[in-house]
Structure 1
Amino acid sequence: MITVHHLENSQSIRILWLLEELDAEYHIEHYNRVGPQTLAPEEYRKLHTIGTSPTISDGDLVLPETGAIMDYILDKHPGSTLRPAPGHPQRERYLYWLHATQASYMPLLLEALIFKRMISKVPFFIRPIISLVVNKVRDGYLWQRYGRHMEFMEAELSRSTWLSGEQLTAADIVMGYCLQVAEVRTGIDPKYAHIHGFLKRMRERPAYQRALEKNGPFNPLAE
């Protein structure tokens, strides 16, 4: 049986949601973050050399990385509609969003967190200088790239219920976490009505609600 090594307020909520959508049996081991930097505890980091969340185990296998875990689990459920097969009308859009989530969106949200901490974690007497520098870089680089991605997502969701079409896929599951992080870390402008609609539909899904119950309180890291 798969064990989800679940670090609080982390990306592993995606794995819980995926497993609930599949109605799969699994076990959860909960881990709390520690220290002023809200890092994973030592016992979590000992699971795998990489030491990141999410991580699952299945027998002797210990596997980190969202994409690898999603594929591993979906391989065990070959009939699932959560991964459109080659030739399916949603296949190409699915592939784009599945990979863009981790390759484009998550790095931008991580950078937003780092920029916030560069300001909040420095001594107060140099904070105005650091803020000036950080905000200049953020405005000229981060927000421009982030805005382009959000505009594209809004346009895509204006033409279908989910990111790749009318059928929920694993791409929506991985992006769902990103958007919850974006809500608290960068904010989501009200003009992105279709993105807000996506989040509403996500939160109404029984499988997501079950995952949230098993997850416990979920407060994505804001800073």
Structure 2
Amino acid sequence: MITLHHLENSQSIRILWLLEELGGAYGFKMYDRDPETMLAPDDYKALSPLGTAPVITDGTVVLAESNAIIDYILDKAPNQDLRPKTDDADRVPYLFWFHAAQGSYQSLQTGRFVNSIAVERSPRLVRGIIRKVMATLDSAFYGPRLSTVMGMMEEQLSQHPFIAGERFTAADIALGYTVQMASMRGQLSDDYPHTQAYVERMEARPAWQAALAKDGKFQGVPS
């Protein structure tokens, strides 16, 4: 049986959400972050060479990385409709958004978030300089790229209720978490009304609510 090793306030909430959407039996082990460093505990890091969330185990299999885990779980649950087939019209948008969620959007959001932490934790004497450097980096790199991704997302969601088309898929799980984090951090402005409505639809799903209840501590920060 697949067991989710779930780190509080982490991207592994995606996998918990997926498992609740599928509705089958699964194992669950909760890990708390170190209250001072906010990092994963040593026993969690020992599960995977990366030492990052999420991680699942299945017999002798130990697997990290959100999208790899999603694919592994869906391979084990063939009687589901969360991954469009190769001849499905939604297959191409599914593939794009499933991978853009992590490869583009999440990485940009995480980079911007890490930069903000770097400013906050820098020595006071050089904080002003660090803030200017990070602001330059944000305006030259993170800001424009995030605007492009979010603009594409807004356009897609203005035409469809879900990111790959007319039905909910695993791409919505991969992307939905990241958009929720943007919303919680005040980074989803009124310029993106369809994306805001999308977040509300994702948060209203019974499986998302069940995942939150099982987690019991989710606040969305850190990622």
The bucket for the TM-score relative to the shorter chain is: over 0.9
Deviation at 1:109, TM superposition (A): 1.0
* Greater displacement, 177-186 / 6-15: 177-186
- Aligned counterpart, 2:152: 152
- Aligned counterpart, 1:161: 161
SS of the equivalent of 2:188 reads coil
Contact 1:181 1:222 in 2 (8 A): no
- Aligned CA distance change for structure 1 residues 112 and 37 (closer, same or farther; 3 Å): farther
User: Is 1:75 matched with 2:75?
Assistant: yes
- Which string of whole-angstrom CA distances, capped at 9 and with x for unpartnered residues, describes residues 44-85 of structure 1? 000121211100011111111111111111011112110010
| Partner AA of 2:59 in structure 1 | G
- Aligned counterpart, 2:14: 14
Structure 1's unaligned 5+ residue stretches are none
- Aligned counterpart, 1:139: 139
- Which string of whole-angstrom CA distances, capped at 9 and with x for unpartnered residues, describes residues 167-203 of structure 1? 1000000111101221234510112011111111111
Contact 2:16 2:211 in 1 (8 A): yes
- Aligned counterpart, 2:115: 115
TM-score w.r.t. length of structure 1: 0.96
- Aligned counterpart, 1:125: 125
Deviation at 1:205, TM superposition (A): 0.9
> When the two structures are aligned, how many residues end up with a matched partner?
223
Deviation at 1:217, TM superposition (A): 2.2
SS of the equivalent of 2:104 reads helix
Contact 1:112 1:186 in 2 (8 A): no
SS of the equivalent of 2:17 reads helix
- Aligned counterpart, 2:85: 85
- Aligned counterpart, 1:215: 215
* Greater displacement, 81-90 / 179-188: 179-188
Q: In the aligned structure 2, how far is the partner of 1:82 from the partner of 1:144?
A: 31
Q: In the aligned structure 2, how far is the partner of 1:81 from the partner of 1:10?
A: 26
- Which string of whole-angstrom CA distances, capped at 9 and with x for unpartnered residues, describes residues 22-60 of structure 1? 111112111111154421110000012121110001111
Q: In the aligned structure 2, how far is the partner of 1:81 from the partner of 1:37?
A: 40
CA RMSD of aligned residues (A): 1.4
Q: In the aligned structure 1, how far is the partner of 2:31 from the partner of 2:210?
A: 19
Contact 2:9 2:222 in 1 (8 A): no
Contact 1:185 1:222 in 2 (8 A): no
Contact 1:11 1:54 in 2 (8 A): yes
Contact 1:54 1:64 in 2 (8 A): yes
Deviation at 1:136, TM superposition (A): 1.2
Deviation at 1:114, TM superposition (A): 1.6
Deviation at 1:140, TM superposition (A): 1.4
Question: Identity over the aligned pairs, expressed in percent?
Answer: 43
| Partner AA of 2:163 in structure 1 | L
Q: In the aligned structure 2, how far is the partner of 1:41 from the partner of 1:67?
A: 23
Contact 2:10 2:222 in 1 (8 A): no
Q: In the aligned structure 2, how far is the partner of 1:121 from the partner of 1:186?
A: 21
- Aligned counterpart, 1:42: 42
- Aligned counterpart, 1:23: 23
Contact 1:55 1:63 in 2 (8 A): yes
| Partner AA of 1:89 in structure 2 | A
